[in-house]
Amino acid sequence: MQEALYGERGFYRRGERPAAHFRTSVHASPGYAAALGRLLTELDEALGRPRPLQLVDMGAGSGELLTQILTAVPKLAGRIEATAVELSPRPPGLPAEVRWTDAPPAEITGLIIANEWLDNVPLDVVELTPEGPRLVLVDPATGAETIGPEPPAEDTDWLARWWPLRDVGDRAEVGRARCAAWAGIVARLRRGVALAVDYAHSLTGRPPYGTLSGYRDGHVVPVVPDGSCDVTAHVALDACAAAGQRAGAADSLLTTQRAALRGLGVSGVRPSLALAHSDPRGYLGALCRAGEEAELIDPDGLGGYGWLVQCARVPLPPSLAR
């Protein structure tokens, strides 16, 4: 998975952009960035309006999210230090004020966003056999799988706590590396909020056969780790939350995108039909925005994504604390 995504000929190393292969909240509606802009504004007040107010996007893709957030918060212009963290080359046309780098700042005062980043942090797959848990090996050229050796003790310990295997044939995706990656992000917070948004599951509902998937050109494809497709798996956000707390997070919130965005003012409510008579164009614009918002908070779609919010030396922003 590491080589398939980030190796010399890896999917993301060669400059593939997420929008070309799968749809995220960023691409669904500018209302997503506007909601995050409201979150950033609340955080700015809680931090005492620092200079600079740092905004970091982990796995920034083409930088669309940062660009949209900067547009949504003109009152903060001049104080935001925007950093896009991405391994692929800087895309053309990105605003000059956006810093493009392959690593986040060592210390951050502000907001870190990991929007569908953790699902691409590489992991191993383990299957329970009659002899006990064993690593699943894969041929990178064909995707053919074989059962390998026992997993390392650290992975076995993680599985026992976060993804216990019960029946022969059950599989787990070992999220220990993701917990470490998230803890590393939280540890960089001097003061502020770290936000992870991803498709997720919890200890009470782990999928028995895992979630490993491949995506290319908007379609689900066989998981062949040859660099030709995105390789992804859902995130054990509850395990990441515990890792973040060990790394220094104080207040934490683990919720759904639907609940979080509704707290941030995204409603998906259709405009009144009366507006169609008094302002037809305004009505069509409002109807379009309502449709986009409805997609963002659809509990069976994007609204079902997990949101992990963790704070360092600042309380939960009011919109989310409610």
Can you give the CATH number for the domain in which 55 is found? Answer: 3.40.50.12710
User: For each successive 10 residues of the chain (322 residues), what is the average pLDDT?
Assistant: 92 71 80 96 97 96 94 94 93 93 97 97 98 96 95 97 97 98 98 97 95 90 92 97 97 96 90 79 81 90 96 95 87
| pLDDT at residue 292, rounded to an integer | 84
Asked if residue 153 is part of any domain, the answer here is yes
Which structural domain, as residue segments, surrounds residue 152? 126-162
Q: Is 37 exposed, middle or buried (0-12, 13-18, 19+ CB in 10 A)?
A: buried
Asked if residue 205 is part of any domain, the answer here is yes
| pLDDT at residue 86, rounded to an integer | 93
b (16+ CB within 10 A) / e for 116-135: bbbbbbbbbbbbbeeeebbb
Count how many domains the chain has: 2
Written as one letter, the residue type at 263 is: G
Are residues 240 and 113 part of one domain? Answer: yes
| Sign of the alpha-carbon torsion through 136, 304, 322, 57 | positive
Instruction: Give this prediction's pTM.
Output: 0.93
Reported as type and span, the H/E element at residue 46 is helix 30-46
Are residues 71 and 101 part of one domain? Answer: yes
> Which among 240, 153, 129 is positioned nearest to 194, based on CA atoms?
240
Beta-strand relationship, 252-256 and 306-312: antiparallel
| pLDDT at residue 20, rounded to an integer | 59
Beta-strand relationship, 108-115 and 53-58: parallel
Are residues 202 and 86 part of one domain? Answer: yes
The rounded distance, in Å, linking the Cα atoms of 97 and 75 is: 16
| pLDDT at residue 286, rounded to an integer | 74
Asked if residue 275 is part of any domain, the answer here is no
| pLDDT at residue 21, rounded to an integer | 57
Are residues 240 and 148 part of one domain? Answer: no
Are residues 241 and 199 part of one domain? Answer: yes
| pLDDT at residue 271, rounded to an integer | 73
The rounded distance, in Å, linking the Cα atoms of 61 and 54 is: 18
Q: Is 318 exposed, middle or buried (0-12, 13-18, 19+ CB in 10 A)?
A: exposed
Asked if residue 288 is part of any domain, the answer here is no
Is 28:266 a contact under the CB 8 Å cutoff?
Answer: no
Are residues 131 and 110 part of one domain? Answer: no
